[in-house]
Amino acid sequence: MTESPAYGAPEFDWSILERPSAHAMLLGQLEFSWLELRARLRTFSAPGTLGTGAWVAEWPGGADAPTPRTIAWLVAHLTEGFLERWDWTFGEHRLRRTDLDVAGEVGPAVAQLERWVDAWRAGVAGLAEDDVLTVGLSTATPVDARAPFGHLVLHMNRELVHHGAEIMALTDLYRATHAGADA
């Protein structure tokens, strides 16, 4: 690990993703998860948008922006990640996260997320045991193309746990602040 100039914290050692071992996969998930949390504790993500159509999801602003992650953004972010990774592993290798037609209503947004997570789960479940260590099974990103597939599965699991926990915390906070409001 090298020092991050922005935070004075270790940066992720991307080369670990090229090691075809269970130990490297576990360590890679742990180290990347800690790097993400440590950075979040110190700053916010850079702004940007994703999606096509009438709705887009805006990335939260910089450190001085008052725009936190919303449930809608978190659902869109998970959806676009699973859509792209599924397509470039099990699909036609053409869809990018920016191709997502972001749903502007809760029901359709949740249905989109369910569709792509379920497709990803089915694809992973259908693999042979040896495929976990296959390099380049997914080519969604340059890192994916150089890494044993197990690293990507662990990364997507981390994304689901990480952003799922954010969604659950936000819904809990909403319920707590609105308890009794309808009474």
Summarised one tens digit per residue, pLDDT across range 156-173 is 999 999 999 989 998 898
* Segment 145-158 mean pLDDT: 93
Of 10, 32, 2, whose CA–CA distance to 147 is shortest?
32
Q: Is 85 exposed, middle or buried (0-12, 13-18, 19+ CB in 10 A)?
A: buried
pLDDT of 69 > 90? The answer is: no
And the tokens for 122?
A: 């089915």
DSSP H helix total and E strand total for the chain: 5, 2
| Per-chain mean pLDDT for the chain | 82
* Segment 118-142 mean pLDDT: 94
And the tokens for 135?
A: 């390099």
- Interatomic CA distance for residues 86 and 103, integer angstroms: 19
- Interatomic CA distance for residues 152 and 143, integer angstroms: 9
Q: What is the pLDDT of residue 28?
A: 84
DSSP 8-class letter at 14: G
Helix (H, G, I), strand (E, B) or coil at 179: coil
pLDDT digits (tens, 9 = 90+) for 28-61: 888 888 777 776 666 554 446 666 677 766 666 6
pLDDT of 27 > 90? The answer is: no
pLDDT category of residue 5 using cuts at 50, 70 and 90: very low
- Interatomic CA distance for residues 92 and 147, integer angstroms: 20
Q: What is the pLDDT of residue 128?
A: 93
Work out the percent of the chain whose per-residue pLDDT is above 70: 77
pLDDT of 21 > 90? The answer is: no
pLDDT of 65 > 90? The answer is: no
Q: Which residues contact 156 (CB under 8 A, 6 or more apart)?
A: 81, 82, 85, 120
Q: What is the pLDDT of residue 30?
A: 81
Q: What is the pLDDT of residue 82?
A: 95
